[in-house]
Amino acid sequence: MSAASPLMREYHANLKGMVAFAVVLVLVGFAVTGSYPKTMLIFAMIHAIAAIGLGLLFGHGGQISLCQGGLLGLGAYISADFVRLLGLDPSLGLIAATLLPAGFGWLVARPLLQLSSHYLAMATLALGLILSIFYTQWVWLTGGADPGISNLPPFTPFGLQLGSTNAMFWVCAVILLLVLLVAINLIHSRMGRALRALRSGEVPAAALGVDTVRSKVAIFAIAAGMSGLAGGLYANFTRAFNASGFEVGLSIDLLIMVLVGSVRSPWGAVSGAFLITILPAFLEDFDRYRLFSYGILMTIIMVFMPDGLASAVFDGVRALARRRRT
């Protein structure tokens, strides 16, 4: 019934991509045994979850945000405090780390999204700054800048011992795949199309009955929820962190991941997250040249691969496959 439809074919191609990605994650999970590389992979997956949300917001909803790092922090503190202060199961903490930031995003989105383009960028930047001030000042909830939160108990949802680096790899991999699936589902739906329509033009989209305000608020909340979930995983994995981890730099890194990968596709967010998280580990003294090399990387990508690195790679592979066939 659906084989003839190009849209269904595209959706199923994405599902096949997900199966392939899952296989790669399993192979990598078994092949990589060192604690340090595995830690880097876990951070990459955590960033990928937040970046997928930002990719939906920016690439599909057309709304820029420079507070995703702050929202990631919100998830981290909520997740930690559910366990630390309320003594609840870490699984509940992780759920709350998704839902509460989503609710917070929903509340702030209405006033924020009255703005657009660089005004919106500045307003979200300000929100990110306000959040990080709260994180340093509300010491009873966050531990402040020093020492922050330390000695969070290992991740043991429902009493399962999942706190080790090895186990956290699989936890993050499963959650990343679920978030990826949710994003692909959304993109290939009536609501995903409505978002892309309003990104291109709010007036024609609204003329077709798209509730542009509600749609923008919803996608902001969804992106906030994904950032919060990433934060929850971050808290449970590191078990010790402080407010300096959620400053504006993280928001900018997340945006760079999305831009480097591809704003159109969650695969871009994932590849950007892996690249930007793991690449610095291979380069000594990278911190000193970080911003410089990001600048060059961004310029090259913007000029030669306007759809992002992931799209360029996909197109390249497709072109190669075609050449081999003929």
Q: How big is the site for another protein, counted in residues (CB under 8 A)? A: 36
DSSP 8-class letter at 244: G
Q: Which is nearer to another protein, 123 or 194 (CB)?
A: 194
Q: How far is the CB of 198 from another protein (least distance, A)?
A: 9
Q: Which is nearer to another protein, 2 or 151 (CB)?
A: 2
Q: Which is nearer to another protein, 184 or 243 (CB)?
A: 184
Q: Which is nearer to another protein, 42 or 226 (CB)?
A: 226
Contact map string, positions 199 to 218, toward another protein, x by CB under 8 A: xxx-xxxxxxxxxx-----x
Query: Any residues with CB less than 8 A from the CB of 202 and at least 6 apart, and which?
Result: 212
What is the amino acid identity at position 316? G
Contact map string, positions 2 to 41, toward another protein, x by CB under 8 A: x--xxxx---------------------------------
Q: How far is the CB of 3 from another protein (least distance, A)?
A: 12
On whether the CB atoms of residues 137 and 77 are closer than 8 A, the answer is no
Q: How far is the CB of 1 from another protein (least distance, A)?
A: 7
Exposure string for 15-54, b = 16+ CB within 10 A, e = fewer? eebbeebeeebeeeeeeeeeeeebbbbbbbbbbbbbbbbb
The Cα–Cα gap between 286 and 62 comes to: 32
Residues between 251 and 310 with contacts to another protein, criterion CB under 8 A: 264
Q: Which is nearer to another protein, 71 or 210 (CB)?
A: 210
DSSP 8-class letter at 115: S
Query: Any residues with CB less than 8 A from the CB of 172 and at least 6 apart, and which?
Result: 42, 45, 46, 49, 233, 237
Query: Any residues with CB less than 8 A from the CB of 239 and at least 6 apart, and which?
Result: 150, 151, 152, 153, 154, 163
Binding site for another protein (CB under 8 A): 1-2, 5-8, 182-183, 185-186, 188-194, 196-197, 199-201, 203-212, 218-219, 222, 264
